[in-house]
Structure 1
Amino acid sequence: MKKLILLLVVAVPLMAAGLHKYYFSVTQADYDATDHALKMVTRVFYDDLEKVFQERYDKSIKVDASYDQKKLDGYIKTYFEGKFIVRINGEKQPLHYIGHKDEIDYVVCFFEVTDIQNLKRIEIENTLLTDLFPEQKNVVHVKAGSEKKSFLLTRENDKAVLNFSE
């Protein structure tokens, strides 16, 4: 009997840990000095994105190839515009949605900010999925010239800032 109790005490927490889902996205933001543009690629788990779209927009949305891709692009664009804010030198910039592609477990979304002159500061505010998943983590890697910095953003700490020395 003691062995059974010990097994339950040890096994149940381990099984629960195995069922725990991690919520995170990864964004790579690279400043291209030739094009004067900040080019961004964000990877988000497709099921998490689907759940937030179903909660916010329409229960029938599917984030996969079977769904109307033009509609899906519209949802991605709208969602990111409200949840992924880029400021250059203190000024909010419009995100230009380029498109998305599906990979095995996640959706890869492509955006850019154009016409960047005299870059001194990049600020990214990333609140993707944090309203639906409080434990959401958003990793942001920013690169401009020789400057590189990585950030772990959460619901409580949702801004990444990279300053450049003159």
Structure 2
Amino acid sequence: MKFRKFLLLLAVILPLCAFTAHKYYFSVTQADYDAKSQSLKIVTRVFYDDLQKVFQERYDKSIRVDASYDQEKLDGYISRYFDQKFIVTVNGEQRDLNYLGHKDEIDYVVCFIEVEHIENLKSVSIENTLLMDLFPEQKNVVHLNTGSTKKSFLLTRENDKAVLKLSK
């Protein structure tokens, strides 16, 4: 009788534990081309705990992705990580990212980036492998907007590049 109760309890608890342990891994990026300033303005939202885990794995175990950590130092880590994992190509040429800073939201960090001096935009490509080295199931959503053309992409480890070609 005790064994049956144990099995019943186990049958109820195990699925609940598996359900609560499951987590979704994703980020969302909005990239808007501003023809007036000739720049691509990029806003990326990443869950702060995922970003902290990858920073602790790659750089330093003591990094905290919250307000208690030195924000200038944190911006340095974010900028460095984006330079390695977020590649923007404009008209076939890889471009430098101008990391502007970040702000904290309830569950995620909002990162602000700009790619400047874009004349005669014909194509834009974003290769986004943020968090994919630590979380194989990571998905990165990218929304590209050039004013007249809007397109969204779901990037995975197997398909990590969003390409938008404009016909002019």
TM-score by length of 1: 0.93
The residue correspondences of 1:29-108 to structure 2 (distance < 5 A) are: 29-108=31-110
Aligned partner of 1:137 among 136, 139, 164: 139
Q: Helix, strand or coil: the match of 1:21?
A: coil
Percentage of pairs with the same residue: 73
Task: Give me the TM-score of the superposition, normalised by structure 2.
Answer: 0.92
Match of 1:126 in 2: 128
* CA distance in 2: counterparts of 1:47 and 1:132, whole angstroms: 12
Letter in 2 for 1:25: S
The match for 1:13 is: 15
Gaps of 5+ in 1: none
In structure 2, give the amino acid aligned to 1:69. Answer: Q
Q: CA deviation at 1:33?
A: 0.5
Question: Within 2, Cα distance between the matches of 1:121 and 1:93?
Answer: 12
Indicate the larger mover: 23-32 or 9-18. 9-18
Q: Secondary structure at the match of 2:100?
A: strand
Aligned residues: 166
What root-mean-square deviation, in Å, do the aligned CA atoms of Structure 1 and Structure 2 show?
1.7
Amino acid at match of 2:110: V
1:139-163 deviation line (CA, Å, top 9, x unaligned): 0000001201101101111000011
The letter for the 2-side match of 1:89 is: N
Moved over 4 A (4+): 1-11
Gaps of 5+ in 2: none
